Amino acid sequence: MTDPNIIIFIIVGFVAQMIDGALGMAYGVSSTTFLLSIGIPPAAASASVHAAEVCTTAVSGLSHLTLGNVNKDLFKKLLIPGVIGGILGAYILTTVPGEKIKPFVNIYLLVMGIVILRKALQKAQATQTKVPPVPLGLVGGFFDAIGGGGWGPIVTTTLVATGNNPRLAIGSVNLAEFFVTVCESITFFLTIGLVHWKIIAGLLIGGVCAAPLAAYICKKLPTRLLMAMVGVLIIVLSVRTLYLTLF
């Protein structure tokens, strides 16, 4: 694989932040899907995405806390399981050869794309079925590290879909995500190191540039349309990368 120009990673960071700014989720899934599609190994992709996310999740979590969007009890129940799941997922990702785990990561991303597309197409249905935060946090943290993203799509979507207050669910999940992301990044640093500074810098630059525009776009374009576009994009890229990996 030739070493891509940093402009590529800036574009990836820009597009991913536009998606995340409009939907409130899918930055990691989108970034990782893009990186895998241009040949970046799974561990390097996830490590780079999470290193860049440390800054964005810090600002997001602090903002939600300041605005009173955090349910402290829910936050505490998500925090420790999320950190444990994230560390476990990051460690497994760095100890298994990239070529062996890449198909499984792509299958996971493909499933996430289908979930996002399905959520965009289905009518909202109110339900009061509660999901225990502890196992949800553990699963969310694990797959967030394995797939380079998924904390928001898994944890936030599940909490909101099962009757939790959307504002408090989003705020609590965002605050917990900062700590999960930091612990995942530390695990990656201790195992493989954060040597892909070009990727990290590109994602950061692109994300910072996109943030203000994403907030504006969020007000103008229908959320369901954006989610459908994201779902289709992730599915297409995942299928392409999975095909190239297997055949």
Q: How many CB atoms lie within 10 A of CB 244?
A: 13
For 142-163, what is the mean pLDDT?
80
Confidence of residue 208 (pLDDT cuts 50, 70, 90): confident
Output the pLDDT for position 10: 92
When the pLDDT of each residue in the chain is averaged and rounded to a whole number, the result is: 82
Q: Which residues have a Cβ under 8 Å from the Cβ of 22 and sit 6 or more positions away?
A: 214, 217, 218, 221, 223, 226
* Phi, psi angles (nearest 5°) of residue 115: -60, -45
**Token pair listed for 190:** 């201790």
Position with higher pLDDT, 128 vs 24: 24
* Phi, psi angles (nearest 5°) of residue 110: -60, -45
The span from the CA of 170 to the CA of 160, in Å, is 8
pLDDT surpasses 80 at 219: no
What are the tens digits of pLDDT across the range 32-81?
888 888 888 888 899 999 998 888 788 778 888 888 888 999 999 999 99
Q: Which of 77-86, 121-130, 164-173 has the highest mean pLDDT?
A: 77-86
The pTM (predicted TM-score) of the whole model is 0.76
Closest of 48, 56, 51, 47 to residue 20, by C-alpha: 56
* Phi, psi angles (nearest 5°) of residue 2: -75, 150
Confidence of residue 128 (pLDDT cuts 50, 70, 90): very low
Coil vs helix vs strand at 82? helix
Output the pLDDT for position 62: 85
For 3-28, what is the mean pLDDT?
80
pLDDT surpasses 90 at 161: no
Output the pLDDT for position 123: 65
Query: What kind and span of H or E run contains 89?
Result: helix 72-95
CB 28 within 8 A of CB 229: no
Output the pLDDT for position 24: 62
Residue that the structure tokens 């505490």 belong to: 76
pLDDT surpasses 60 at 125: no
Q: Which residues have a Cβ under 8 Å from the Cβ of 31 and sit 6 or more positions away?
A: 12, 13, 16, 45, 49, 52, 148, 149, 203
Q: Is the dihedral of CA 106, 234, 124, 160 positive or negative?
A: positive
Output the pLDDT for position 22: 66
The span from the CA of 74 to the CA of 171, in Å, is 10
Coil vs helix vs strand at 127? coil
DSSP state of 38: T
